[in-house]
Structure formats: C-alpha cells, structure tokens
Amino acid sequence: MKCRICGGEATIKLKSYNIKLCEQDFLNFFKRRVAEAIREYKMFTHQDRILVAVSGGKDSLSLWDILAQMGYQTTGYHLYLNIADASEQAFEAVKNFADKNNLPLIVDRLDEIIGAGIEQASKVMKKPPCSVCGMIKRYRFNRLAEEKGFSVVVTGHHLDDECATLLGNLLHWQEGYLARQYPVLEEKEGLVKRAKPFVYVGEEEIKIYARVRGINYVQTPCPYSRGATSLIYKRIIKEIEEQMPSTKIYFLKAFFKNYRERFYAEEEKVKLHPCPECGYLTVGEICNFCLLKKKLQKFSSQK
C-alpha cells in the first residue's frame, strides 16, 4: 500500500474517504478535520480557557490530546462515579494521561458532591443512570465555568454519536432535541458555551488516532452505556456506511446546514429562571441537581 500524500509505505486505510495513508499523514489528515470543525462553527480560539470532559475512554482522551497538541489551553474534567472496578480504571487512565502530558485536571467525586452513588441517584430520580449522570455533569460544567473562568466546555461526541442521535431524534420526531442538536451551543443566560470538535471524525478514525498516539484508555469507562439504545442506531448507521461510504457525513452536514433551523421555534418556548436553592437556571421549580440532593436527603432520613 502506498500513501496517497507522500508515496511512502501506507499502514492505514480509511474506507469512508477511500484513501490509504502513512501514520504521519493520517495524523495531519485527522488534525485538519478537527481544525475545520473548530473554525467552521467558531467553537473557540487560542485565547479561550477550555474545559475538556474526560471519561477515560478513547474519544475524550483523544480529544484532550489533540487540543493540547494544537496549542489550546485545556483543563480536564472527570466525574468519578464510584462504580465498582470501572470507575477506578477510568480515573487511572485520566490521571495517567494528565500526569504524562503535564495537563491540569479537575476531579469531582460523586459521593462527595451528592453524598450517594449513581445507582441510588438514578433510583430516587426515577431516571436511567445515564440521564442522571448527564444532568450532574452539565450542572458541574456550568458551575466550574463560573467559578474558574472557563469559556467553553468540549466533549468527545463524534460523527457516529451525532448520526446515531440524529437518527433517534428523527425516528421519534423529537423536535426540541432536533433544534438543539448542533456542533456548538452558544453561551446563554449563565449556561456555558459547549462544543463538539470531533463532529466530523468517525469512531474508527479516533481509534486509529489513539493507537498511533499511544494513548492508554479504558474500553468501557461506564458499564451502563452498554445497554443504551444509541448502540442500536450506531450499529445500523455503521451498516449503511459500509454499503454506502460517506453517508454519515452527508446525513449530518445536510441536517446542520439545511434542516435543523426548521425546528427552531420549538426551542424558544422554554423559559428559564434561577433555582431558589443555588441560582442555577432551570425550567422546573428548583433545578434538577438540587432536586436530586433533596430526594437523597429524604431517602436517607427515611431509613
């Protein structure tokens, strides 16, 4: 195999793009895709202080790695979930990465911030663990941005994640979610700006990137993600991509460019007000984070 760019020995084959590359040209190719998304959606600049949400998996650690490589000011954020075995391994991977690259890391321990584990939190809220975990992380992102001056939070969601989400949202005609699905969500009313710099790179490419860069990550940072319905959509999207290369990128780009704005009206109806307990903006009477803490208190006082 010959590298398309330099003519040297190619060790990497990218089916979606129908190209073969050597490691160095693959890294350049990957970086260009990420830089393109950052620029196209004006995600951040070198002046921004960026909080990178890291689980310990390949997506988030690769994201942290490439942003640091590109010279951005990054700090990692890890939520330690207290799930037997899984959490300790995930934390080790994140900690080792931060130490090795000399990058700052913020760790929240779930038992310290809510006084309970994710299972119990999920039970009192009557919601799946993933949705409670997502809520807690969003809450902490906004608080940390306010307290420590981060201007943007980035997550490792990639092309396959976004295609799976889009397919799911379309199948159930989730208009509110469709309006909000975008590579960048601007800061508004105390909610920090959020961005997904991997929106144009697929899971396969990230796997290759992590391998070439020698990143040590955990396969499944969270055991709960295994049963997620998004896996069904991902599998189907993967099958379609194999039969029809480049479908993923077209599906997503066309949605962002031509169709998403049709769902805008749905979003504007939502009215936010500050939570009386903590000041965080919410649609409910009190914010979900304070609601969770109240429910946990009530639960433990009943015992």
The residues of the shown chain that bind Zn ion, judged by CB under 5 A, are: 3, 5-6, 8, 22, 25, 275, 277-278, 280, 287, 290
CB of 26 to Zn ion, least distance (A): 8
Task: Using CB atoms within 10 Å of the CB of residue 207, give its burial: 0 to 12 exposed, 13 to 18 middle, 19+ buried.
Answer: middle
Least Å distance between CB 67 and Zn ion? 24
Q: How far apart are CA 9 and CA 11, in angstroms?
A: 7
**Cβ 303 to Zn ion shortest distance, Å:** 24
Place of tokens 């130490």: 99
In terms of CB distance, is 3 or 66 closer to Zn ion? Answer: 3
Residue number with CB closer to Zn ion (212 or 228): 212
Q: Which is nearer to Zn ion, 25 or 162 (CB)?
A: 25
Smallest distance, Zn ion to C-beta of residue 25, A = 4
Residue 22 or residue 93: which is nearer to Zn ion going by CB? 22
Q: Which long-range contacts (CB under 8 A, 24 or more apart) does 125-133 make?
A: 125/288, 125/291, 125/292, 125/295, 128/224, 129/224, 130/222, 130/224, 130/225, 130/228, 132/292, 133/79, 133/81, 133/222, 133/224
Write out the H or E segment, with its range, that includes residue 185. strand 184-185
Rounded CA separation 107/103 (Å): 13
If the CB atoms of residues 18 and 45 are measured against Zn ion, the closer one turns out to be 18
**Min dist. Cβ of residue 28 to Zn ion (A):** 9
